[in-house]
Structure 1
């Protein structure tokens, strides 16, 4: 059931929700709500009327140690294939489809809602500055007057909201080793291990504003295993305006010992070692240029989304404990009721993509895409993406413990981001 928009956004927002690419910046009076009735990144600071969503009180404090801050929490209730229709008002169509396809095994343990999101102060400060300065360029395909933080904490249309996800803060420089699995219907799988390295443009890195002005981040991905794929490398220079200056990508093929430009690493080009189960723009739930879709901001809903998924980070787990036939081990998942922005992306006339429509559910506290439903050219629900959100409070970075993308037609799925068996 749709909830009313925050009063601080005013009637102007309601009138602009249908606008594809309205002017971006808002008035200083509206931006003044940030840090008062709205969080510094634009979420409603207050809880909901029912008391099932608490107020935001600053999120988790930064510490040097990273561990599950809620080890004693128990599920309040569990949504199953037998009772999910009772909770339909707070479920996405994709979640309902998962219950229908896997009625005996798919479940959602629902826990107390904890609003743990927290960012460094400079992200809060820059987000407030962005509210009155940052603009959309090229029909929404680039940003002007943007350096870091949330570009549109008071979004006026769908493309602004999706930009908040695309450029959200994920730290300065990141190095990680993660595993990916693409199980067969019977549960058989081979682990593919990647070493990912990112460097983002922000105050924590050596990025200089007068250099590579159109670069958002640099990304390198090395395939570590299995042996048949080991040594292949992907390098990406991600641009802010990918229509003016398309993403720069190169691949090194270890077997051929050759480096080649890789324009296919974008849009619906196949994802690395994904067995055809994800597109390039499925990585990080969604990435890249938004120019092939019309974006509509539908408003806010209260939805059960994966949140505070610290169980999935437990180093005592093996990958076999997580990867199961049909879907991941849902006993390890944690769902909470949160407010989300709903954004519908519809393929533009004359544009090509294997997904004709996508429906996004963006967590209001982090702007991360938490659920995305993908529809094929016939208008049928095809793939369901879920991100299991976690707050890396030791670095003040909200991100994912695990990304999953379920194919309702084949009964297979992709799980990316596991690091339980890595050093």
Structure 2
């Protein structure tokens, strides 16, 4: 017994010294698919039934799909249960973020939140559920949660039963995004009066597990490859950014390159990280504002506050509809609330505070993650004075044909400047996002950038 105690103490000291946080036990992991959904959300609804139980999600065939791959709206006949306005916001503030409340004050005459019946539509393929369950018992975080150990090659849902704030963040960053895909979308930064010039982009994303030519040694620390080319307007067309997103960004930082069409040169792009400027964003977003949040978590302390019920953008099928034009959506101050949909859902609440000695234009981020999908749905960004500066909202929908949670739009509102950025708009694209693309590792080399940027 004495020797066993010595060995146990030695192991505990070793874990503390290396900063390793252990995976959950098999007994805890057994909750996945029983009391918890296969991805770690509570299966049960809430006490009054306003949040229903999860019963498997919305499956293929839930609504028509047009010839260009755009999904129909399974809830097109539903009407809002109620609409929150500046006049009524006080009675709902317990289920709203500080950022949402600030938007009502900034735009009292036009900002509103239409609240619909809640639907828990999320689902994923069985292989993803199996991978998440394996991650639960094998993945460990180390170096203060800044990198992962024993993360399965499936590369999804590192911590479906999280124990702290940074593990919740990792679930967002490792959530299932589908197979290799190509997407055409638009980013806009309207003037105060609502006038805008759309910036058209084409994204290609590749995942080593879906690449037949992927070299296991070269890709062992790769989460995904990402290439983004600007295709319009003409003054920006031909610029391309390439990212190799690593899992352990302490050991091997994100690798990024850019191709400038005017110079016809490929350069390393270390600015594509943290608070480096976002592509063609007119200073309205940082590199790590993409996907609501991305990249190495090492500059922040992550505090898990807990779970709460909140009105968040959800099932935004109308907002991605090809029946809408960008001029229908983009209005002065904020996107048009006539086409948004909010529902009551449980979220994980995490507060990120800049570590002493670290630099970032956002000193604090207050973040809300959907429990069913782990997608980051809302972020309140604070400056170094502690003032609420920017409010981000992720308008998501669940692709019922593929079992993927994705974006209709993401918006970042600057409360001080009175301007905003909206990205990932697809309404006027020729085709919806296309999965199962035959992308290879060679498509994501620096040498391939020049060909992607030819105009």
TM-score class, shorter-chain normalisation, is: over 0.9
Partner of 2:368: 361
Which of 288, 307, 330 aligns to 2:337? It is 330
Relative to 1, partners in 2 of residues 1:292 and 1:406: Cα closer, same or farther, differing over 3 Å? same
Matched, 1:77 2:82: yes
Q: How much has 1:35 moved relative to structure 2? A: 0.3
Matched, 1:68 2:70: no
Query: Number of residues paired by the alignment?
Result: 403
Partner of 1:301: 308
For residue 183 of structure 1, give the secondary structure of its aligned residue in structure 2.
Answer: coil
Relative to 1, partners in 2 of residues 1:176 and 1:45: Cα closer, same or farther, differing over 3 Å? same
Which of 51, 54, 59 aligns to 1:53? It is 51
Partner of 2:433: none
Which of 329, 340, 350 aligns to 1:343? It is 350
Q: How much has 1:399 moved relative to structure 2? A: 1.2
Q: How much has 1:422 moved relative to structure 2? A: 1.1
Relative to 1, partners in 2 of residues 1:392 and 1:299: Cα closer, same or farther, differing over 3 Å? same
Q: How much has 1:388 moved relative to structure 2? A: 0.4
For residue 97 of structure 1, give the secondary structure of its aligned residue in structure 2.
Answer: helix
Q: How much has 1:71 moved relative to structure 2? A: 1.1
Partner Cα separation in structure 1 for residue 22 and residue 327 of structure 2:
46
What TM-score does the superposition give when structure 2 sets the normalisation length? 0.87
Which of 39, 42, 57 aligns to 1:41? It is 39
Q: Which moved more, 1:38-47 or 1:122-131?
A: 122-131
**RMSD over aligned Cα, in angstroms?**
1.3
Which of 11, 24, 27 aligns to 1:26? It is 24
For residue 202 of structure 2, give the secondary structure of its aligned residue in structure 1.
Answer: strand
Partner of 2:204: 197
Q: How much has 1:208 moved relative to structure 2? A: 5.3
For residue 350 of structure 2, give the secondary structure of its aligned residue in structure 1.
Answer: strand
For residue 319 of structure 2, give the secondary structure of its aligned residue in structure 1.
Answer: helix
Answer yes or no: is the 8 Å Cα contact 1:22–1:156 preserved in 2: no
Answer yes or no: is the 8 Å Cα contact 2:369–2:375 preserved in 1: yes
Answer yes or no: is the 8 Å Cα contact 1:309–1:334 preserved in 2: yes
Matched, 1:98 2:103: yes
For residue 211 of structure 1, give the secondary structure of its aligned residue in structure 2.
Answer: helix
Partner of 2:219: 212
Answer yes or no: is the 8 Å Cα contact 1:171–1:204 preserved in 2: no
Answer yes or no: is the 8 Å Cα contact 2:397–2:406 preserved in 1: yes
Map residues 3-402 of structure 1 onto 2, 5 A cutoff. Answer: 23-63=21-61, 65=65, 66-146=71-151, 147=153, 148-202=155-209, 207=214, 209-402=216-409
Relative to 1, partners in 2 of residues 1:172 and 1:70: Cα closer, same or farther, differing over 3 Å? same
Answer yes or no: is the 8 Å Cα contact 2:83–2:113 preserved in 1: yes
Q: How much has 1:256 moved relative to structure 2? A: 0.8
Answer yes or no: is the 8 Å Cα contact 1:24–1:152 preserved in 2: no
Larger Rg: 2
Relative to 1, partners in 2 of residues 1:185 and 1:24: Cα closer, same or farther, differing over 3 Å? farther
Partner Cα separation in structure 1 for residue 276 and residue 348 of structure 2:
27
Partner Cα separation in structure 2 for residue 82 and residue 385 of structure 1:
22
Partner Cα separation in structure 2 for residue 365 and residue 288 of structure 1:
22
Answer yes or no: is the 8 Å Cα contact 1:181–1:414 preserved in 2: yes
Answer yes or no: is the 8 Å Cα contact 1:217–1:239 preserved in 2: yes
Please give the per-residue CA displacement for 1:31-78, whole angstroms capped at 9, x wherever unaligned: 111100000110000000011000000001124833111111110000
Structure 1, unmatched stretches of 5+, are: 1-20
Partner Cα separation in structure 1 for residue 388 and residue 250 of structure 2:
29
What TM-score does the superposition give when structure 1 sets the normalisation length? 0.93
